[in-house]
A and B are shown apart, each in its own frame.
Chain A
Amino acid sequence: EVQLVESGGGLVQPGGSLRLSCAASGFTFSSYWMHWVRQAPGKGLVWVSRITSDGSATSYADSVKGRFTISRDNAGNTLYLQMNSLRAEDTAIYYCATGNSHAFEIWGQGTMVTVSP
């Protein structure tokens, strides 16, 4: 079964850090670009970051550039998002998704990140 499972979310204080993980199974993880997409409570989807299949190139939304770092471990079939200097406006469900033809093909169930004092 093709599956993405996120973990690592939780409650963190403003200015703090958190590392999200996304475990992939049922497909050849190393062949796919991967993305993080977030959704604030009651709001729409927002693209956050992308990494190429071999991890050689990354890109970020302006709102997280310089604070978030995307990475991957193809041997372990895992995607990561290191989030530093967290702000209240980063509060959201964070989804990982496979990238295929500039679309987000397979989605995980999401992990909730809450930034609050």
Chain B
Amino acid sequence: QSALTQPPSASGSPGQSVTISCTGTSSDVGGYNYVSWYQQHPGKAPKLMIYEVSSRPSGVPDRFSGSKSDNTASLTVSGLQAEDEADYYCSSYAGSNNWIFGGGTKLTVL
């Protein structure tokens, strides 16, 4: 099963908003409301930012939001801050007790 498709890079200035896309198929992203997003700073473990497409775990700022349309999910970071600069990965349940990740997007805060 191929990885979900994410743009390799994204960027924005402090205070701006940026949206990262995550495209799959009807067998994963489009088939389940189980898309999640992870933030990973260099040398650190990933951190869950969004689950079930648009839910935020406790402690995650509401500047982070998620959505989905058909086979494409999106993560929007509003009011960009310097500490948001990191790699972001999407993931989806893919059925039959399998999970799949996207290739990752490097977010640069200009």
Contacts and interface: CB of A to CB of B under 8 A. Distances in A.
A88 interface: no
Contact of B51 (A57, A59, A100): A100
Interface in A79-117: 95, 100-105, 107-110
A44 interface: yes
B104 interface: yes
B97 A44 contact: no
Contacts of A37: 46, 101
A104 B98 contact: no
Given A109-B45, A110-B45, A101 B51 contact: yes
B38 A45 contact: yes
Contact of B101 (A47, A50, A107): A47
A11 interface: no
Nearest to A57: B97
A44 B5 CA distance: 12
Given A50-B97, A104-B46, A45 B89 contact: yes
Interface of B: 1, 3, 32, 34, 36, 38, 40, 45-48, 51-52, 57, 89, 91, 93, 96-104
B70 to A, nearest CB: 19
The 9 closest A-B pairs by CB, nearest first: A59-B97, A103-B51, A102-B34, A103-B36, A102-B93, A47-B99, A107-B45, A44-B104, A45-B101
For chain A, what secondary structure do more than half of its interface residues adopt (helix, strand, loop), or is it mixed?
strand
Contact of B99 (A35, A100, A107): A35
22 contacts: A37-B101, A44-B103, A45-B38, A45-B104, A47-B91, A47-B98, A47-B99, A47-B100, A57-B97, A59-B98, A61-B98, A95-B46, A102-B36, A102-B52, A102-B99, A103-B48, A103-B52, A103-B91, A104-B38, A104-B46, A104-B91, A108-B45
Interface of A: 35, 37, 44-47, 50, 57, 59, 61-62, 95, 100-105, 107-110
Nearest to B1: A62
A102 B45 CA distance: 18
Nearest to A106: B48
